[in-house]
Amino acid sequence: MLTIVTIATKESEAFLRKKTKEVSDPRAITRGFISDMKKTMIAANGIGLAANQIGEECKVFVAIHAGKFYTLINPEIIKSSAEEEEAEEGCLSVPMVYGPVKRAARVTIEGTDMRGKLVKIKAVGLLARIFQHEMDHLNGKLFIDRAKNTYRIEPEHLS
């Protein structure tokens, strides 16, 4: 299991707020690295995880939605709907903090898979939200920068 970088220290928060670097050869991203990211995300009860959340500065994220895994290398959102939806978000790098965030209801994202093949995904609803949240990570933004009001839930209140 990999360690998730949190905003617990000024140094770790500064790292999370740095823009990640383009991957020059997507095929250099190993299956083991992606597998470790997925296992870490699942173990932490997450639905998305960007590489910088585990201390890597590369432009890579993994996500899971409706039982399907997504791995995107050098992703870019190429289209966003004008229609927005507001929903509660949390983040593995900002533990126990939640808040409502407005995001585009639909996005089209392009990226490369591990074979170096270009993929294009049209996402709506929660999947669109996940992709936007992870893209924010890769661009050095945290959901708390977008949330209107954040609140903390103490661990003893979770069941």
CA separation for the pair 112, 114 (Å, rounded) = 7
CA separation for the pair 151, 159 (Å, rounded) = 18
Decide if 5 contacts 15 (C-beta within 8 A). Answer: yes
Catalytic-role residue among 56, 84, 134, 156:
134
Active site residue 13: no
Instruction: Give SS3 for 144.
Output: helix
Decide if 134 contacts 16 (C-beta within 8 A). Answer: no
Supply the DSSP string of 68-117, one letter for each residue.
Answer: EEEEEEEEEEEEE-S-EEEEEEEETTEEEEEEEEEEESEEEEEEE-TTS-
Enzyme catalytic residues: 134
